[in-house]
């Protein structure tokens, strides 16, 4: 075998036993060969959508359960009913996000997104009576359902979701004005 001054094999050489040694040029060529898994795919391809929705829902699971724990601790510390309701809603939303993650991993995008958007809107309507001071935030949360659905559902479903989101925002605005805020949390 031939070696250069650093001790690396320099050229392809035949050893007495008949073993072929690759040189650096062959190794570099092998390393540059593209992997079949490294192909660039368009953003709207099903494979990319599966990965994106699974990542989003996985983070949503962590955020929902983490926020539920923090809200639960605040509820235990201050005995505020609105905070307790918020903790329970976030805990339930975490379980829904977990189901969405499982659906997304099985390439059932539309069902996963519809479930997630329904959970956004439902949670918004449940929280308004308990936390009427969060009206502006809850209104934006209802819009989040439409934003999430943009890439995954048909125009017909998106149109219906937009109408339901608008109705939810209207309900949030009306309920936020009608229900008095009675929080026991420190200011």
5 vs 21: CA distance, rounded Å: 17
80 occurs within a structural domain: yes
Per-residue model confidence (pLDDT) at position 180? 87
Categorize the per-residue pLDDT at 186 as very low, low, confident or very high, splitting at 50, 70 and 90.
Answer: confident
Contact 109, 50 (CB under 8 A): yes
1 occurs within a structural domain: no
What pLDDT, in 10s, does the model give residues 63-114? 999 999 999 999 999 999 999 999 999 999 999 999 999 999 999 999 999 9
| 88 three-state secondary structure | helix
65 vs 187: CA distance, rounded Å: 25
Sorted by sequence, the CB contacts under 8 Å of residue 185 that are 6+ apart come out as: 74, 78, 80, 83
Residue 11 in this model has a pLDDT that exceeds 50: no
53 occurs within a structural domain: yes
139 vs 167: CA distance, rounded Å: 10
What pLDDT, in 10s, does the model give residues 31-47? 555 555 556 777 778 88
171 occurs within a structural domain: yes
- pTM, two decimal places: 0.74
DSSP of 102-163: HHHHTT-HHHHHHHHHHHHHHHHHHHHHH-GGGHHHHHHHHHHHHHHHTTTS-HHHHHHHHH
137 vs 126: CA distance, rounded Å: 14
In DSSP terms, which residues pair with 38 in a beta bridge?
none
Count of structural domains, the chain? 1
136 occurs within a structural domain: yes
The percent of residues above 70 in pLDDT, for the chain, comes to 79
Q: Show the domain range for 124.
A: 46-178
136 vs 78: CA distance, rounded Å: 24
Nearest to 93 by CA among 70, 138, 72, 62: 62
Nearest to 109 by CA among 41, 42, 50: 50
145 occurs within a structural domain: yes
What pLDDT, in 10s, does the model give residues 101-135? 999 999 999 999 999 999 999 999 999 999 998 99
115 occurs within a structural domain: yes
28 occurs within a structural domain: no
């Amino acid at each position: 075998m031939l070696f250069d001054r650093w001790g690396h094999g320099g050229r392809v050489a035949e050893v007495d036993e008949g073993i072929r040694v690759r040189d650096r040029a062959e190794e570099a060529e092998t390393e540059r060969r593209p992997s079949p898994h490294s192909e660039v795919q368009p953003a709207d391809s099903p494979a990319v959508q599966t990965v994106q929705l699974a990542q989003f829902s996985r983070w949503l699971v962590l955020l929902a359960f983490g926020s539920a724990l923090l809200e639960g601790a605040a509820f235990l510390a201050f005995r505020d009913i609105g905070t307790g309701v918020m903790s329970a809603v976030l805990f339930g939303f975490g379980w829904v996000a977990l189901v969405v993650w499982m659906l997304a991993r099985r390439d059932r995008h539309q069902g996963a997104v519809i479930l997630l958007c329904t959970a956004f809107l439902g949670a918004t309507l449940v929280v308004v009576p308990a936390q009427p001071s969060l009206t502006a935030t809850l209104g934006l949360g209802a819009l989040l359902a439409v934003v999430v659905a943009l890439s995954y559902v048909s125009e017909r479903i998106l149109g219906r979701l937009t109408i339901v989101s608008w109705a939810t925002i209207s309900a949030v605005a009306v309920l936020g004005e009608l229900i008095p805020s009675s929080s026991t949390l420190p200011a």
